[in-house]
Structure 1
Amino acid sequence: MKNSQVRCALFFVFMLFAFTPGGGAQAPSSQAPQVPDWAQPGSSTHQQVAPPADFHRPTVTLDKPVGIFENQSDIGGPLAPGEASFDPVTKQYTIRSAGYNIWYQRDEFRFLWKKMTGDVSLAADASFPNKQGYDDRKVVLVIRQSLDDDAKEAVTGEHGTGMTHLAWRADKGAQMKDMSYRFGGSLTGVLPKRIGIEKHGDQVALFISLTGEPMHQFGPPMTLHFDGPFYVGIGFCSHLPATVDTGVASNVLLENAAGKVR
């Protein structure tokens, strides 16, 4: 075989290898989502940190009402899409979502929402069907100025350990803060029966029922102004950037008035 024929044959073999399934130059048809190091969950060998200041992903909103909520969104575009359903018999909202966190200066979670103005009372029983999920996963009750990943918001969340607190982002893009107290969780072995959030003017407060007793305010309110309309609803975050888990919110109460949490 002449040299030119050999070169042509070798080139053909290279092209066949490079651009057919299994070839070295062809990317796999379905790659695992690339998770930034800062978004990896905390562990004995890793500490989750705040995202880069300019990091954002667009929220994905579906035209899909569910139960009493007019729509739902994947806030911050989690790497794995979420889903939600409502069972009118059990009165349960089942929310499946990935998402690295609802914290720092941006969030990732599935959010079921309704646009509202004025005062708000919102309450639900929170639970986690998967007993092996990440401890910091959380079912949340949210009042949010917009659907942007870095929106101003107030959040009452119950974590997988039962730890419950009131947190807020004072302005768009600001770092999240919470009250100096946190309740429940592994330190006490208590998983609250029911959690609630109330907006009365610019005052936002956490409500709680430990074992089924009437709900009562826990700690002082914080002050945060929302321009109407704003978004009110429930959500879930697995606290795992690319792994979907499940949270359940049952017996959800939502009223356009203060003093109705029960």
Structure 2
Amino acid sequence: MKKTLLMVVLTVSLLGFKSNTKPFEKMGIYGKYGIFDHQINIGDPTIKGTVSYDSESQEYTIQGSGFNMWANNDEFQYLYTSMQGDFILRARVRFIGEGVDPHRKIGWIVRNNLRGDSPHVNASIHGDGLTSLQYRRAPGSETEQIVSTDEAPDVVQLERRAGTYYMSTAKFGQPFTTVELKDVNLRNEVFVGLYVCSHNPEVIEKAVFSNVRIIKPAAPDFQPYRDYIGSTMEIMNVETGNRKALFNSAHSIQAPNWVNQDKELVFNSNGFLYRYSFESDEISQINTGFAVNNNNDHVFSFDETILGISNHNQDDSGRSSIYLMNPQGDSLPKKITKDGVGVSYLHSISPDNKRIIFTAERKGKFDIYGVDIASGEEIQLTDTKDLDDGSEYSPDGKYIYFNSNRTGNMHLWRMNADGSNPVQLTNDTKYKDWFPHISPDGKWIVFISFPPTIGFGEHPFYQHCTLRLMSAEGGEPKIIGYLYGGQGTINVPSWAKDSKHIAFVTNSD
């Protein structure tokens, strides 16, 4: 469009976090500006911008003008909230239309105050593709910048960690390129938000932001399995990468299964299992009887007639043992693994409902085992010096997919259902891959990839992770989700029956 008063729409799909005393809280409860507190035209631009919020789609539409965001003063449209301490801001972005000025800008900006000359740090994406981390050190001082090698990204992340700022950008599906900024001393209490600047006082610009997240990370000294932060249940369309937050919790929630013809999600929290209904938005607890110390390794059989759980059995020195039960919770769980043989973590039930496969500590190490449900007889399926984990049957029962660090890094593997013919499926060193989940149509694997800096054989809480998608036959994985999570995000089979949607958990304090 070449009109003098150009309109470019900024649609933003957002999720953030407010204080919450309820265990589970439905999304869409926020005010006029969603997770943000206010909107303002910074610097009093000639043409005023606007913001609207769609609570059902969790999308924002923002229009903004302004002569520039540079030198010693700024003009732009700002949608913001207030934050303290460390944080992570992330969004998928794109301009709509050709625009008027190549220096039009959108992105995230962190400011000390709402004056046009405020000190700030700004993750800026320009209309011509220029990507830079811009900053003003003092009120009214000149704007400086660090230019990224990334051009025209559509995923933008701005993080503050211990006073250092990190701008990470990527074209959706690719790894991040990161720029680091030290020695810009903004206040601990700052304003953070999205902005649009047209770089032309006579023009209104618009663009689209989706999958926006405002995250408060765990404290640097948090103790795993003792200190927890909040959680959000999300779903994603794997074809588009579009995400929607269903509800958040002050508790740690983990490991969603998509069940009951895609009408419900089952997840665990604090040792119990719960059901979430899409239709009613209500959450109910599943009766697991004496099994009240369940970890996040619960699975359903393919026909959903059996629910398997891993419960820490107090009669067996608190070891994780495997039980099967009626998914409706109207009968007591039945123990399948034996006492005194070592810990067992359930991962999958065979399509014919005759066998379960699990990770077991036997002979002083962890391997993948199977057990015949009728007889209780165990069979060892893998035998390596390191860790084999995350096993899952293919829908036709011919294969078992799993993750293993037998070749030095944690990668995905596939073997025949009897444990023969193991084949390595991923092999890059940029990630540590865990928990392969096969789509119901058998075509795709979705899995979580941890950063390479985590320990050997670990899958910890509260990390910068990605969800990746690849063919069930192998090939080059594609990133479909950038997230803050890890342990509990997607430990169990999480596909909808349509093979187009997944469920997973992300975290924020």
Range of TM-score over shorter length: 0.5 to 0.7
Preserved CA contact (<8 Å) 2:93 2:207: yes
* Partner in structure 2 of residue 157 of structure 1: 124
Name the amino acid aligned to 1:111: Y
Q: Show structure 2 runs of 5+ residues with no match.
A: 1-30, 219-462, 465-481, 484-509
Helix, strand or coil: the match of 1:246? strand
* Partner in structure 2 of residue 256 of structure 1: 216
1:193 aligns with 2:160: no
Name the amino acid aligned to 1:72: Q
1:71 aligns with 2:34: no
Name the amino acid aligned to 2:86: D
Helix, strand or coil: the match of 1:179? strand
- Of residues 71-80 and 133-142 in structure 1, the stretch that sits farther from structure 2 once superposed is 133-142
Residue 107 of structure 1: how far off its partner (Å): 0.4
| Residues 31-60 of structure 1: per-residue CA shift (max 9 Å, x gap) | xxxxxxxxxxxxxxxxxxxxxxxxxxxxxx
Q: Distance in 2 between matches of 1:133 and 1:95?
A: 17
1:103 aligns with 2:70: yes
Q: Distance in 2 between matches of 1:228 and 1:212?
A: 33
Residue 140 of structure 1: how far off its partner (Å): 1.7
TM-score (norm. length: structure 2): 0.36
CA change 1:166–1:160 in 2 (3 A) is same
- Of residues 88-97 and 70-79 in structure 1, the stretch that sits farther from structure 2 once superposed is 88-97
Q: Distance in 1 between matches of 2:103 and 2:185?
A: 28
1:203 aligns with 2:164: yes
Name the amino acid aligned to 2:107: V
CA change 1:91–1:127 in 2 (3 A) is farther
Mapping 1:85-104, distance limit 5 Å:
85-104=52-71
- Of residues 69-78 and 127-136 in structure 1, the stretch that sits farther from structure 2 once superposed is 127-136
Preserved CA contact (<8 Å) 1:139 1:249: no
Residue 210 of structure 1: how far off its partner (Å): 2.0
Richer in strand (by share): 2
Name the amino acid aligned to 1:71: H
| Residues 199-252 of structure 1: per-residue CA shift (max 9 Å, x gap) | 0121001111223235x3513333322223210111100111122121222211
Preserved CA contact (<8 Å) 2:133 2:179: no
Helix, strand or coil: the match of 1:211? coil
Q: Distance in 1 between matches of 2:148 and 2:205?
A: 27
Helix, strand or coil: the match of 1:212? coil
Q: Distance in 2 between matches of 1:112 and 1:140?
A: 11
CA change 1:113–1:238 in 2 (3 A) is same
Q: Distance in 2 between matches of 1:241 and 1:158?
A: 19
* Partner in structure 2 of residue 140 of structure 1: 107
Q: Distance in 2 between matches of 1:163 and 1:87?
A: 30
> Could you tell me which of 187, 190, 193 is aligned with 1:230?
190
Name the amino acid aligned to 2:51: A
Name the amino acid aligned to 2:201: P
- Of residues 145-154 and 85-94 in structure 1, the stretch that sits farther from structure 2 once superposed is 85-94
> Could you tell me which of 153, 166, 174 is aligned with 1:213?
174
Preserved CA contact (<8 Å) 1:98 1:242: yes
Name the structure, 1 or 2, with higher relative contact order (CA <8 Å, separation 6+): 1
> Could you tell me which of 49, 67, 80 is aligned with 2:47?
80
Richer in helix (by share): 1
Residue 179 of structure 1: how far off its partner (Å): 1.3
Name the amino acid aligned to 2:161: H
Q: Distance in 2 between matches of 1:75 and 1:222?
A: 25
Q: Distance in 2 between matches of 1:234 and 1:108?
A: 13
Aligned-pair identity in percent equals 28
Residue 86 of structure 1: how far off its partner (Å): 2.5
Query: Deviation above 6 Å: which 4+ runs of structure 1?
Result: none
Q: Distance in 2 between matches of 1:132 and 1:111?
A: 19
CA RMSD of aligned residues (A): 2.0
CA change 1:132–1:228 in 2 (3 A) is closer
Preserved CA contact (<8 Å) 1:78 1:242: no
1:174 aligns with 2:141: yes
| Residues 61-119 of structure 1: per-residue CA shift (max 9 Å, x gap) | xxx84121011110000001110122345443221111011111110001111111000
CA change 1:178–1:134 in 2 (3 A) is same
| Residues 155-184 of structure 1: per-residue CA shift (max 9 Å, x gap) | 001111222111100111110001154531
CA change 1:180–1:139 in 2 (3 A) is closer
Helix, strand or coil: the match of 1:235? strand
* Partner in structure 1 of residue 84 of structure 2: 117
TM-score (norm. length: structure 1): 0.68
Q: Distance in 1 between matches of 2:131 and 2:147?
A: 12
Mapping 1:46-57, distance limit 5 Å:
none
Q: Distance in 1 between matches of 2:216 and 2:116?
A: 25
Q: Distance in 1 between matches of 2:65 and 2:147?
A: 28
